[in-house]
């Protein structure tokens, strides 16, 4: 009697001589993300390159082994969000009133006062520069000084959102037919989730308020004939700067099992799979949707990666942030890691939560020894 689940999905690799070699090397197949060859029943083999990936190492995870062909992120067809736009998109009007209305920017004396207060807080002296790396804090983004530059940055995002049929949202949204807000409970995370420190939460809220008043992150969405929409820095960005929050509609992973969207992001990886949540930015989203994920297990990927995708417990709810993990030069394209591990552990040093990948890399988060969360990924699952 055959087992209900095959030990491993075998590829129909081309050419045939290569398929024979794959069968001979079955016992040596390891997951590209975690490096383990265990859990063979949940180890997929790519039908393009024969590399392996556990279904639970994917982000979003797959609830079960898929039927038919399966391709890893590196071999997958061009992302759907980019294939929707096959030629240079029509540019959003560089008109202040239209951009203000598109993003619902607050106007009036109250908004100006709040923006001014945000700047004062951001520029507050920090005292001694000799600080323990483990105590380094997340930084708010530094908007471009030129109002015309900020206008161009907002127009570039409006162009991309309009071309892909999405509307702007800077918050997680909960539609009636999807997962309710009550389902987003960080306590359900398998292995636990790091709580965002109070000071960092205040920094995140400051970034939100700045955007509401037109103080925009220094980012441009550009259209590339090969990559489609992608994002680049429009000014120098410091390490540990909050780039943006990953937002969109929140839904149960089980409802998206056959979804072909490439931009889904894990929000909650619950111990009970039926309670796992994903963020779906196809209808409502911000600039995070257009930032590319990259395979950081390759030399080229590690060189390009300049962001970390981190999940936090914020007031009991799961949130996903994109944070600079090194200094970023003006004109540099943004890439975050999509090889984050699903499990986390307690640091023996200070009890904070770090991912297994971060432990192996000798860092916890930003690449400088500071601890700021566990990583996740987005793929065309």
The pLDDT of residue 200 is above 60: yes
- For residue 145, the domain's CATH number is 2.170.270.10
Average pLDDT, the chain: 75
Range in 27-36, 130-139, 261-270, 366-375 the model is least confident about: 366-375
H/E element, 20: helix 16-24
Confidence of residue 125 (pLDDT cuts 50, 70, 90): very low
Query: Do 181 and 317 share a domain, yes or no?
Result: yes
What is the domain extent for residue 215? 96-124+131-375
Query: Do 283 and 197 share a domain, yes or no?
Result: yes
Q: How far apart are the C-alpha atoms of 44 and 24, rounded to whole Å?
A: 17
Average pLDDT over residues 179-197: 95
Query: Do 49 and 170 share a domain, yes or no?
Result: no
Query: Do 135 and 226 share a domain, yes or no?
Result: yes
Residue 151 located in a structural domain: yes
Query: Do 250 and 203 share a domain, yes or no?
Result: yes
Q: How far apart are the C-alpha atoms of 208 and 228, rounded to whole Å?
A: 27
Residue 11 located in a structural domain: no
**Which DSSP string do the residues of 119-140 spell out, in sequence order?**
HHHHT-----S---GGG---B-
Confidence of residue 22 (pLDDT cuts 50, 70, 90): very low
Range in 60-69, 164-173, 255-264 the model is least confident about: 60-69
Query: Do 201 and 312 share a domain, yes or no?
Result: yes
Confidence of residue 297 (pLDDT cuts 50, 70, 90): low
Query: Do 32 and 103 share a domain, yes or no?
Result: no
Look at residue 146 in the predicted model and tell me its pLDDT. 94
Query: Do 26 and 150 share a domain, yes or no?
Result: no
Q: Is 289 helix (H, G, I), strand (E, B) or coil?
A: helix
- For residue 28, the domain's CATH number is 3.30.40.10
Is the peptide bond between 15 and the residue preceding it cis, with omega within 30 degrees of 0? Answer: yes
The DSSP 8-state label assigned to residue 8 in this structure reads: S
For residue 199, the Cα-to-chain-centroid distance in whole angstroms is 22
For residue 226, the Cα-to-chain-centroid distance in whole angstroms is 21
Query: Do 307 and 252 share a domain, yes or no?
Result: yes
The pLDDT of residue 53 is above 90: no
Number of domains in the chain: 2
Query: Do 32 and 180 share a domain, yes or no?
Result: no
Look at residue 262 in the predicted model and tell me its pLDDT. 66
Look at residue 274 in the predicted model and tell me its pLDDT. 92
Look at residue 372 in the predicted model and tell me its pLDDT. 35
Residue 83 located in a structural domain: no
Query: Do 309 and 248 share a domain, yes or no?
Result: yes
Residue 276 located in a structural domain: yes
Query: Do 255 and 365 share a domain, yes or no?
Result: yes
């Amino acid at each position: 009697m055959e087992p209900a689940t095959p030990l491993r999905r075998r590829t129909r690799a081309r050419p045939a001589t290569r398929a024979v070699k794959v069968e001979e090397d079955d016992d040596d197949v390891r997951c590209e993300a975690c490096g383990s060859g265990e859990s063979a029943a949940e180890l997929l083999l790519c039908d393009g390159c024969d590399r392996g990936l556990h279904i639970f190492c994917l982000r979003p995870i797959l609830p079960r082994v898929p039927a038919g062909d399966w391709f890893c992120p590196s071999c997958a067809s061009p992302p759907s969000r980019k294939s929707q736009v096959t030629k240079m998109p029509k540019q959003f009007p560089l008109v202040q009133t239209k951009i203000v209305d598109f993003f619902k920017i607050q106007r009036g004396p109250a908004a100006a006062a709040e923006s001014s207060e945000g700047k004062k807080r951001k520029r507050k002296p920090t005292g001694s520069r000799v600080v323990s790396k483990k105590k380094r804090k997340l930084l708010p983004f530094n908007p471009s000084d030129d109002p015309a530059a900020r206008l161009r940055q907002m127009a570039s995002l409006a162009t991309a959102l309009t071309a892909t049929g999405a509307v702007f949202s800077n918050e997680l949204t909960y539609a009636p037919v999807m997962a309710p807000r009550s389902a987003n409970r960080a306590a359900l995370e398998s292995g636990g989730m790091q709580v965002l420190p109070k000071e960092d939460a205040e920094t995140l809220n400051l970034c939100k308020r700045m955007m509401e008043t037109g103080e925009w992150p220094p980012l441009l969405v550009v259209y590339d004939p090969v990559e489609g929409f992608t994002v680049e820095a429009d000014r120098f960005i410091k390490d540990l700067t909050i780039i943006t929050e990953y937002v969109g509609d929140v839904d149960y992973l089980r409802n998206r099992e056959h979804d072909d969207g490439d931009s889904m992001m894990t929000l909650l990886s619950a111990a009970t799979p039926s309670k796992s949540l994903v963020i779906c930015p196809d209808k409502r989203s911000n600039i995070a949707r257009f930032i590319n994920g990259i395979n950081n297990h390759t030399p080229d990927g590690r060189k390009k990666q300049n962001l970390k995708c981190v999940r936090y417990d914020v007031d009991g709810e799961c949130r996903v942030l994109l944070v600079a993990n090194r200094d970023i030069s003006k004109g540099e394209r943004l890439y975050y890691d999509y090889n984050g591990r699903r499990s986390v552990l307690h640091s023996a040093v200070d009890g904070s939560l770090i991912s297994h990948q971060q432990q192996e890399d000798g860092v916890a988060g930003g690449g400088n020894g500071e601890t700021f969360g566990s990583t996740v990924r987005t793929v065309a699952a």
